[in-house]
């Protein structure tokens, strides 16, 4: 589009927005309920604080305020949980968080999932943490591509426009009165992706209100929104005589702080305009009434502990006492700014009556009704009054709900038009949802909906038996309608009965059977990318953009009528702890999506898995290029669950070739596989991948000594990659690390972060490994974290505090090209470090004893040389080596040079006796 055409488009949309005072505004359907205008279904994972009497008291805090806040960060676990909990649970504000990425580039202390699968895992971990903080979750479409040292690198990968679009869209959907950020958009943020989130939070403060910015949202029904203030946390780093320390680069830089709202640049640390007292105790946050009340930061840290993939099994909970965090105000739209702020919302009318005062020319009736509603809300949220009137709470809540319905109905049918009306309707619908939930809690109404038999249903096959039970602790005596909805056009199944219906008791149950046509929409992530080099997600459904996940497959609803008003309770249909999901009628997956073919091999083996297995057995087929051949053999003659293909390329094959698999089942052809991602009680998310494999020919010589053992750490795919070149290792446990057991092997490999995964590896097991090396064994230790100490190595060494090389294109210099590890059995050259993915490596050593030999040098642009990526030492008759290069990321992607180097590292100089 030319600049002239773009300007014309912007002018057209600006004119269209100005004309909305005379005509209806477009409506956004909001399939993921990101606005929060509809009742959210319960999932059975609600915390005790959100149920029963405590849940009711928590909800009553929210009724008398329209305060709303959105925090913007880069990754899961970046959040200021204490601040979020203070405003959400303490002050009753409506609070959301926009997390730009899903943490795909992080490490994983819990499973062997990385990249997109790790992103799905961390999404559910963050949602678990959100329950403690009491926040609504939004996500961007950006992918965490690994540690970035500058925001310029992050913007280059993501583009400024995409990040701003995601932030503006989230703000326009949620419509917060205040925007906040953990980061400020400068070097004090460290990680380049952190810096991006800080800068964008300030820029989006202005951009979200500008109708000429992203006018396509307006056409979609997502209207501009002007938040009233924007804050960011005051950096903790102080300015020394050397300047500001940038922990991303490990260097000092001149102090520079930019305000992206005003454009002002200063050299002094931003002032503390609001101090959040996160160490304030709150009686609602304690499980035991007799125990001291927890503070907001303590409760939030328990939630942070749910993000186990990054922090492992434990989290430090700060002791009771003062815990203050300071925020600086970067922009304000208030006509009169308070001189001294005690809250983000100082100077903002957060009262219910403020909804009406925001509508120019609002009818007197509307204003009077809102004033009356405000009085009712004050009465309900007053703790002393609510204690006295608790027996009347259902009646009072029903009265407030009835008045809210009246105001909504009157406003919807009024002659008022324009964005102000839309804004008022939005806030009133949110308030109605809060009253709905409070009334359900006050009446003790409960609903469950459990599928019969399984949490995974094949699409289009059979009927689903769902039992919806309504348990009334207070023996409710009013009409109820039970129904359930499937994802296909929200098709409804319904049963109704009144309080005197013979089928109804204190616990009423009804069976709802989903028809096959209601199981035709597969439950899968709405976002995807074609390969891991893409820095952002594409979407199957653009309307779900910013949503944490795809909406549940089935939702059951119980509609009640009490004192003349309607309220509802929604429940995700589940089986046990897992929500019901709809899957294809089959899954076809391959053992790997990329595999090397060494020059010494004339063929390679690919394993295909077809589930559910069919009777009679049906074998998958491969689509092969001209000149390629394959033979298939079932690994189990009784089923078709595993087929092994021997693939023979033509002798001239010299380039990577993509091979596709498919299976013709009675219900259709499939060429996609899926597997559940998660651990423990986390909700599972099915991860879908095409049944394809990329065969990469590589000049690769294999060792003659092939007795290899592998001790897994936090999880990686290295054993599978080695098996693909006929070097299948035997998997060990820590208990196997004995002299007698180790003597069987030529090489023993430690997986990534083994010392973090196995605290019992220290001491005797490690000494057994060192003794094994002295007796002629070859030990290879892959990337480790701070749990790895000098006592775990044969000679002194230390991990650096900031030793990493994040740019996978950075050149690598070989310090001793004649070293055995760089010559046998493959001649390693700098070109073997070409075409790497994600990063060069993490956990480079900062120092090491002179007994070690450093074999490589690399560094990010303008950074100090890093020589601690690959060090080795002769130890007795054998060898001990530490490798921080991210080979565990390269091998699953069939990077040729990584295979050549890894094979060399596991090749002992001589066969062990």
Q: What is the pLDDT of residue 838?
A: 83
Cα(844)–Cα(785) distance, integer angstroms: 10
CA separation, residue 389 to residues 381, 442, 478, 564 (Å): 11, 12, 22, 20
pLDDT value at position 402?
95
Per-residue pLDDT tens digits for 669-709: 999 999 999 999 999 999 999 999 999 999 999 988 789 99
**Residue range 880-903: mean pLDDT, rounded:** 96
Listed in sequence order, the DSSP H helices in 414-527 are: 419-443
* pLDDT for the residue numbered 14: 37
| Per-position DSSP letters for 762-802, written without gaps between them | TTHHHHHHHHHHHTT-EEEEE---TT--GGGSSS-EEE-SS
pLDDT digit string, tens, across residues 813-864: 999 999 989 999 999 999 999 999 988 998 999 999 999 999 999 988 878 8
The percent of residues in the chain predicted with pLDDT above 70, rounded, is 88
Which is more confident, 495 or 376? 376
Q: Which of 115-119, 137-141, 326-330, 595-599 has the lowest mean pLDDT?
A: 595-599
d(CA 49, CA 71): 23
pLDDT average, residue stretch 789-809: 87
- What number of other Cβ atoms are within 10 A of residue 182's Cβ? 22
pTM for the complete prediction?
A: 0.89
Residues 245, 249, 251: CA angle, nearest 5 degrees: 40
**Given pLDDT bands bounded at 50, 70 and 90, which one contains residue 538?**
very high
761, pLDDT greater than 60: yes
- What is the DSSP annotation of 785-852? -TT--GGGSSS-EEE-SS-EE--TTS-EEES-TTSGGGTSSS---GGGGTT--S-SEE--EEEE-TTS
Instruction: Quote the CA–CA distance of 231 and 274 in Å, as a whole number.
Output: 9
With a cut of 70, say whether residue 508 has pLDDT above it: no
Q: Distance between terminal CA atoms of the chain?
A: 71
What tokens appear for 248 in the block? 């991303």
pLDDT category of residue 554 using cuts at 50, 70 and 90: confident
Query: CA nearest 272: which of 302, 310, 231?
Result: 231
Of the candidates 857, 863, 719, which has an alpha carbon nearest to the alpha carbon of residue 782?
719
Query: Which among 698, 708, 681 is positioned nearest to 828, based on CA atoms?
Result: 698
Nearest 5°: CA angle at 165, between 164 and 166? 90
Compute the average pLDDT of residues 604-631.
Answer: 88
pLDDT digits (tens, 9 = 90+) for 429-464: 999 999 999 999 998 888 888 887 667 766 655 455
Q: What angle do CA 507, 512, 514 make, to 5 degrees?
A: 155
Return the closest-CA partner of residue 429 out of 67, 39, 21: 39
Contact status, residue 100 vs residue 78, Cβ threshold 8 Å: no
Give residue 248's pLDDT. Answer: 80
pLDDT higher than 50, residue 124: yes
Q: Which of 90-104, 490-504, 648-662, 749-763 has the lowest mean pLDDT?
A: 490-504
Question: Percentage of residues in the chain with pLDDT exceeding 90?
Answer: 65
3-state helix/strand/coil string of 596-643: EEECCCCCEEEEEEEECCCCCCCCCEEECCCCCEEEEEECCCCCCCEE
Which residues are 676's β-sheet partners? 686
Distances (CA, A) of 573 to 123, 193, 456: 20, 37, 11
State the pLDDT at residue 187. 93
pLDDT over 70 (residue 209)? yes
Burial of 503 (C-beta count, 10 Å sphere; 0-12/13-18/19+): exposed
Q: Answer whether residue 420 shows pLDDT above 80.
A: yes
DSSP notation for 130-158? HHHHT-EEEE-SB---S--S-HHHHHHHH
Mean pLDDT (the chain) is 88
Is residue 829 exposed (0-12), middle (13-18) or buried (19+ Cβ within 10 Å)? Answer: middle
Confidence of residue 73 (pLDDT cuts 50, 70, 90): very high
pLDDT band at 288 (very low <50, low <70, confident <90, very high): confident
pLDDT: which is higher, 325 or 248: 325
Interaxial angle between packed helices 419-443 and 393-413, expressed in degrees from 0 to 180 and rounded to the nearest 10: 160
Residue 392 has pLDDT above 90, yes or no: no
Residue 558 forms beta bridges with which residues?
482, 569
CA distance 423 to 505: 43
Does residue 616 have a cis bond before it (omega within 30 degrees)? yes
Region 713-722: mean pLDDT is 91
Q: Is 535 helix (H, G, I), strand (E, B) or coil?
A: coil
- Other CB atoms within a 10 A radius of the CB of residue 818 amount to 7
Peptide bond into 612 cis (omega under 30): yes
| pLDDT score, position 704 | 83
Categorize the per-residue pLDDT at 665 as very low, low, confident or very high, splitting at 50, 70 and 90: confident
Q: Can you give the pLDDT at residue 175?
A: 98
């Amino acid at each position: 589009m030319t600049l002239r055409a773009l300007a014309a488009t912007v002018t057209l949309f600006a004119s269209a927005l100005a004309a909305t005072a005379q005509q209806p505004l477009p409506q956004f359907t909001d399939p993921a309920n990101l606005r929060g205008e509809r009742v959210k279904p319960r999932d059975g994972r609600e915390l005790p604080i959100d149920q029963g009497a405590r849940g009711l008291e928590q909800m009553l805090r929210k009724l008398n305020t329209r305060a709303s806040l959105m925090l913007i960060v880069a990754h899961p676990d970046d959040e200021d949980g204490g601040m979020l909990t203070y405003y959400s649970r303490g002050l009753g504000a409506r609070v959301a968080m926009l997390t730009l990425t899903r943490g795909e580039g992080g490490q994983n202390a819990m499973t062997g999932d990385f990249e997109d699968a790790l992103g799905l895992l961390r999404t559910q971990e963050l949602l678990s943490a959100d329950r403690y903080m009491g926040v609504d979750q939004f996500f961007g479409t950006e992918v965490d591509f690994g540690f970035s040292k500058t925001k310029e690198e992050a913007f280059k990968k993501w583009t400024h426009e995409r990040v701003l679009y995601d932030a503006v869209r989230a703000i326009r959907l949620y419509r917060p009165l205040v925007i906040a950020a953990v980061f400020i958009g400068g070097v004090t943020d460290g990680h380049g992706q952190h810096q991006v989130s800080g800068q964008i939070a300030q820029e989006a403060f202005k951009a979200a209100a500008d109708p000429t910015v992203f006018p396509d949202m307006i056409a979609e029904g997502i209207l501009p929104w002007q938040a009233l203030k924007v804050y960011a946390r005051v950096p903790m780093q102080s300015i020394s005589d050397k300047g500001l320390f940038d922990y991303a680069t490990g260097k000092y830089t001149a102090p520079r702080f930019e305000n992206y709202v005003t454009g002002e640049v200063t050299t002094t640390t931003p002032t503390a305009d609001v101090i959040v007292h996160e160490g304030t105790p709150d009686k609602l946050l304690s499980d035991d009434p007799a125990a001291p009340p927890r503070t907001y930061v303590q409760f939030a840290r328990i939630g942070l502990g749910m993000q186990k993939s990054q922090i492992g099994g434990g989290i430090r909970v700060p002791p009771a006492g003062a815990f203050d965090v300071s925020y600086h105000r970067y922009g304000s739209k208030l006509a009169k700014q308070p001189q001294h702020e005690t809250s983000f919302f100082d100077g903002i009318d957060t009262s219910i009556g403020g909804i009406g005062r925001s509508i120019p020319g609002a009818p007197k009736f509307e204003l009077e009704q809102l004033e009356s509603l405000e009085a009712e809300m004050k009465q309900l949220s007053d703790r002393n009054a609510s204690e006295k009137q608790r027996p009347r709470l259902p009646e009072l809540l029903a009265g407030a709900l009835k008045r809210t319905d009246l105001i909504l109905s009157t406003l919807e049918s009024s002659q008022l038009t324009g964005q102000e009306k839309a804004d008022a309707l939005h806030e009133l619908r949110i308030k109605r949802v809060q009253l709905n939930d409070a009334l359900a809690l006050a009446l003790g109404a409960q609903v469950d909906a459990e599928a019969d038999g399984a949490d995974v249903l094949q699409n289009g096959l059979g009927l689903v038996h769902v039992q919806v039970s309504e348990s009334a602790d207070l023996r409710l005596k009013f009409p109820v309608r039970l129904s359930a909805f499937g994802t296909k056009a929200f098709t409804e199944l319904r049963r109704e009965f009144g309080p005197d219906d013979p089928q109804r008791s204190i616990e009423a149950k009804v069976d709802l059977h989903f028809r096959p046509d209601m199981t035709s929409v597969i439950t899968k992530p709405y976002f995807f990318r074609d390969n891991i080099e893409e820095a952002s997600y594409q979407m199957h459904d653009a309307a779900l953009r910013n949503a944490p996940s795809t909406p549940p497959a089935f939702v059951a609803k119980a509609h009640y009528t009490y004192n003349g008003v309607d309220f509802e309770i929604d429940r995700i249909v589940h089986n046990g702890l897992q929500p019901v999901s709809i899957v294809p009628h089959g899954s076809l997956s391959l053992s790997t999506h990329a595999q090397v073919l060494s020059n010494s091999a004339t063929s390679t083996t690919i394993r295909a898995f077809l589930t559910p297995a069919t009777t009679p057995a049906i074998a998958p087929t491969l689509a092969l290029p001209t000149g390629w051949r394959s033979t298939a053999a079932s690994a189990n003659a009784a089923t078709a669950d595993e087929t092994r293909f021997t693939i023979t390329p033509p002798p001239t094959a010299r380039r990577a070739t993509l091979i596709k698999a498919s299976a013709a089942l009675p219900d259709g052809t499939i060429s996609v596989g899926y597997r559940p991602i998660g651990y423990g009680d986390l909700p599972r998310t099915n991860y879908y991948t095409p049944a394809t494999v990329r065969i990469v020919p590589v000049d690769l010589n294999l060792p003659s000594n092939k007795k290899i053992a592998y001790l897994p750490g936090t999880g990686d795919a290295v054993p599978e990659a080695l098996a693909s070149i006929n070097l299948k290792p035997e998997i060990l446990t820590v208990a196997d690390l004995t002299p007698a057991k180790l003597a069987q092997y030529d090489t023993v490999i430690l997986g990534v972060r083994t010392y973090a995964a196995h605290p019992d590896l220290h001491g005797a097991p490690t000494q057994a490994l060192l003794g094994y090396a002295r007796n002629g064994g070859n030990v290879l230790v892959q990337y480790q974290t701070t749990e790895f100490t000098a006592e775990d190595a044969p000679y002194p060494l230390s991990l650096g505090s900031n030793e990493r090389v994040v740019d996978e294109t950075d050149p690598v210099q070989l310090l001793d090209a004649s070293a055995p590890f760089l010559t046998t059995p493959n001649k390693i050259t700098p070109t073997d470090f070409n075409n790497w993915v994600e990063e060069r490596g993490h956990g480079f050593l900062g120092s090491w004893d002179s007994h070690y030999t450093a074999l490589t040098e690399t560094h990010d642009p303008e950074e100090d040389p890093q020589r601690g990526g690959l060090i080795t030492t002769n130890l007795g008759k054998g060898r001990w080596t530490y490798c921080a290069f991210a080979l565990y990321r390269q091998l699953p992607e069939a990077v040729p040079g990584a295979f050549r180097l890894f094979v060399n590292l596991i090749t002992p100089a001589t066969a062990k006796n």
